[in-house]
Amino acid sequence: MKIIKKVSELQKIALKHLVNKDEIGLVPTMGALHEGHISLISKSVKNDDITIVSIFVNPIQFGQNEDYLKYPRPLEKDLAICKKNHVNYVFVPSAEEMFPRANRTRVEVKGLQDLLCGRFRINHFSGVDTVVAKLFNITFADRAYFGMKDFQQLRIIEKMVKDLNFRTKIVPCEIVREKSGLALSSRNFYLNPEEKESAVLISKTLKLAKEEIKVKSFSAAVKNAVKRISSIKNSRIDYVEAVDFNDLSPVSKNTKKAVLAVAVWIGKTRLIDNIIISKIVRE
Amino acid sequence: MKIIKKVSELQKIALKHLVNKDEIGLVPTMGALHEGHISLISKSVKNDDITIVSIFVNPIQFGQNEDYLKYPRPLEKDLAICKKNHVNYVFVPSAEEMFPRANRTRVEVKGLQDLLCGRFRINHFSGVDTVVAKLFNITFADRAYFGMKDFQQLRIIEKMVKDLNFRTKIVPCEIVREKSGLALSSRNFYLNPEEKESAVLISKTLKLAKEEIKVKSFSAAVKNAVKRISSIKNSRIDYVEAVDFNDLSPVSKNTKKAVLAVAVWIGKTRLIDNIIISKIVRE
């Protein structure tokens, strides 16, 4: 496993693999790797000739009052996980290497970036799209792997790829959960035991809503979910919304492509989760 | 010479050339090819194994009241020019092929895109950047050729390439002028004989300003240029500005990297031109 810090070095190596007709897999991460990330890595190792994992806490996707500085960075542990899981290259650029002071270019997916999390995290998705576009240009990836927990991120990146004609194919991957149902997230590290008990109720509520929709009215089930999540101890809701899988617009009926998406603060930690509440029909 | 209309077809062909280690040159145009374009094509034919010319009147870089519909589209003549000049592939996608109705993604070079022409043509450069990013992703170009007449465009695209880590190298090309000094432009086709006489005075003024700067104060020379251009018959100035070559910021002294840039309406036709008024030091 090779550790690479420089853009130009990785780009040169990746181009060689491309010319050599190796299929290149990319798993973009912010590190603090957990079983969710490992499931993406495993999928790439299985599908691709070469697996590149990027570990980069991307400053431009954090807001001013967000957790950029305190975001966990257990680099040694992350590298060990990558090695154990047969990663070929780990890309660990500095913030300055990826975003030198004078950088000015941003990729924006208008509309989609302003909904759901975008209402609360201004410029977040533009920061994500920009770093992902850079990673695609640096790695020439045939495939890039994204988890479904960040459902809006996944949909926005799929849209960006289509709109800008990137050659990279996006591979969505199922949410990995603890036995309790809690969706794995690097931000779970922030939770104390009491908060963790609260956090578990998010996924429980989503699951319950999915069941209720089968027997109750759609809007009643969604309303119940909002009520349940707002009554969780230490919680503050950013949103609980049923939206269309394709364009993220609000839905009020059980269409064939609805997702119930949640962003909620447990104490000082912001968590997101979602569940597909109906059969998905891809655009 | 092969004519290609579909994104997927060109992307497949270009990738084959890339894997084959052919060096790929791209000349992005809006058609209505003139000697300026031909100089770009010739440079690519000389430098690269494969030359791709795109001919695409890009709807998203035109404002609502601009000349998108009446922009000249002499396709047969353009194809003949390409063939005569040893182009390998001409890419002539439809507007729908490049920008399907639901497209939402835009590339923006913040700051630079709002100066000079950007003050008068809102969203213009975002439209340019987006289509150029797409063309880079479709062609995997090693080099892309841009004329210095569109000086701000050139600088913005160079910035985009650097910021987003595109592999493509930008090759700036000298302005090609008529004997009269008028910079070649597809929009010159709009000018009637009287307007053309007026238009010639733009480049004459720029040349004169460059001479005056050697003997007068910098600001006096620029002021004289403004005065001369505003007194041209049928003219209306958008801007006459001395700016820094690197960051396009206004300069009031003869730095080592100043450009005198002009956008002026002659009748109903908007023309741009510029001259380097001091030795350029690249960033």
> Domain residues of chain B, as ranges?
2-173, 186-276
Q: Pick from B108, B111, B138: which is nearest to A165 by CB?
A: B138
CB contact under 8 A, B159 and A110: no
Q: Which residues in chain A have Cβ-Cβ distances shorter than 8 Å to B133?
A: 164
pLDDT at residue A253, as a whole number:
78
Residues of A contacting chain B (CB within 8 angstroms) = 7, 11, 15, 18-19, 21, 103-112, 129-130, 133-134, 137-138, 159-160, 163-167
Please give the CATH topology (third level) of the domain spanning B186-276.
Pantoate--beta-alanine Ligase; Chain: A,domain 2 (3.30.1300)
The confidence band for B264, taking pLDDT boundaries of 50, 70 and 90, is very high
Identify whether B86 is a catalytic site residue.
no
Asked if A61 contacts A107 with a C-beta cutoff of 8 angstroms, the reply is: no
* Tokens 């058609």 found at: B31
CB contact under 8 A, B105 and A163: yes
Q: Can you say how many angstroms the Cα of residue A283 is from the centroid of all Cα atoms in its chain?
A: 20
CB contact under 8 A, A105 and B107: yes
A109 to chain B: closest CA residue = B105
pTM of the model: 0.96
Q: What is d(CA B227, CA B221) in angstroms, rounded to the nearest whole number?
A: 10
Q: How many CA atoms lie within 13 A of B48 on its CB side?
A: 30
CB contact under 8 A, A107 and B111: no
B161 to chain A: closest CA residue = A105
Q: Which amino acid is at A180?
A: S
Here the tokens at position A143 are 């495939």
Predicted confidence (pLDDT) at residue B270 exceeds the cutoff of 70: yes
Residue count of chain B, please give it.
Answer: 283
pLDDT at residue B279, as a whole number:
53
Residue ranges for chain A with pLDDT beneath 70: 254, 279-283
Which residues face A261 on adjacent strands? A241, A274
Nearest CA-CA distance, residue A168 and chain B, Å: 10
Q: Which residues in chain A have Cβ-Cβ distances shorter than 8 Å to B159?
A: 104-105
Q: Which residues in chain B have Cβ-Cβ distances shorter than 8 Å to A4?
A: none
CB contact under 8 A, B108 and A109: no
Q: What is d(CA A91, CA A2) in angstroms, rounded to the nearest whole number?
A: 9
With a CB cutoff of 8 Å and minimum separation 6, the contacts of A150 are: A272
pLDDT at residue A279, as a whole number:
53
pLDDT at residue A257, as a whole number:
81
Averaged pLDDT, B174-181 = 98
pLDDT at residue B280, as a whole number:
45
Q: Which residues in chain A have Cβ-Cβ distances shorter than 8 Å to B130?
A: 164
DSSP per-residue letters across A247-270 = T--B-SS--TTEEEEEEEEETTEE
Q: Which residues in chain B have Cβ-Cβ distances shorter than 8 Å to A19?
A: 18-19, 21
- Tens-place pLDDT, residues B52-74: 999 999 999 999 999 999 999 99
Interface mutation target, options A56, A123, A139, A163, chain B, most CBs of B under 10 Å: A163
Predicted confidence (pLDDT) at residue B282 exceeds the cutoff of 70: no
Alpha-carbon dihedral sign for residues A32, A183, A28, A34: positive
Averaged pLDDT, B169-186 = 98
Q: Which amino acid is at B242?
A: A
Q: What is d(CA B78, CA B141) in angstroms, rounded to the nearest whole number?
A: 21
pLDDT at residue A224, as a whole number:
96
Residues of B contacting chain A (CB within 8 angstroms) = 7, 11, 15, 18-19, 21, 103-112, 129-130, 133-134, 137-138, 159-160, 163-167
Q: Which CATH class is domain A2-173?
A: alpha beta
Q: What is the mean pLDDT of chain B?
A: 95
Q: Pick from B103, B134, B165: which is nearest to A137 by CB?
A: B165
